[in-house]
Amino acid sequence: GAVVSQHPSWVICKSGTSVKIECRSLDFQATTMFWYRQFPKQSLMLMATSNEGSKATYEQGVEKDKFLINHASLTLSTLTVTSAHPEDSSFYICSAPNSGRVSYEQYFGPGTRLTVT
Amino acid sequence: AQSVTQLDSQVPVFEEAPVELRCNYSSSVSVYLFWYVQYPNQGLQLLLKYLSGSTLVKGINGFEAEFNKSQTSFHLRKPSVHISDTAEYFCAVSEGITGRRALTFGSGTRLQVQP
């Protein structure tokens, strides 16, 4: 089956610093990837849609200057949390549909737990 | 806009008993429906999906779900649960035929299987 990886799996950073999270599709190409955020004991909320070769589209209420998304290739999207604060501590999960197939399934990464101290 | 409602935040059940996790959705267009399971500190695993065809969908680990268009429901069932089924379960919906639309998730149901 299709595999999506995320790196790092967990990260602790100090308030005010920036953190980059990578999402890779390992065995398929993904022109689109999605970034979700999950706070403790809550559901997943879509943050943004990452589009290869073009700007990401952000959901209402998500600051695009704070959460920078770069979809540099057909297999890699990165999310950079800039000037992180404790309220940004969350579980970040990416997903991707297989662009090469007519598939309605999203393949999810294992998630990245971010803790901002 | 689409939305998903999971009516039960927690469902306690004894081992080997049957269970049903409820999911209702709303959408102005045709939808595709999914159930995912999440174990602590892990990502999501697809249990099953409804795209079209038979309204009774069978998934992994003995789970099944039935799509009811008139009631806009997609309830998840298992005839006999195991301790290992203890996890968070999310119902999700997507729209469109390309499959490239993001998922809208319900708030989740915590299934707690007791011995």
pLDDT at A53: 87
Chain A interface mutation, best of B41, B57, B100, B112, highest count of A Cβ atoms under 10 Å: B100
Token pair 């919906």 in the structure block, residue: B93
Chain A residues with beta carbon closer than 8 angstroms to that of B108:
42-43
pLDDT in tens, B89-102: 999 998 866 555 78
pLDDT at B100: 52
Residue A95 exposed, middle or buried by CB count within 10 Å (0-12, 13-18, 19+): buried
Question: What average pLDDT is seen over chain B?
Answer: 91
The average pLDDT across B54-69 equals 94
pLDDT in tens, A18-76: 999 999 999 888 888 999 999 888 889 999 999 888 899 999 999 999 999 999 899 99
Indicate the DSSP class of residue B62.
G
**Cβ pair A60, A45 in contact under 8 A:** no
Q: Which helix (H) or strand (E) holds A36?
A: strand A32-38
pLDDT at A41: 82
| Strand locations in chain B (E) | 3-5, 10-14, 19-21, 24-26, 31-38, 44-50, 56-58, 64-68, 73-78, 87-95, 104-105, 109-114
Beta bridge partners of A108: A95
Residue of A nearest to B95 (CA): A104
Q: Who contacts A41 (Cβ-Cβ below 8 Å, separation ≥6)?
A: none
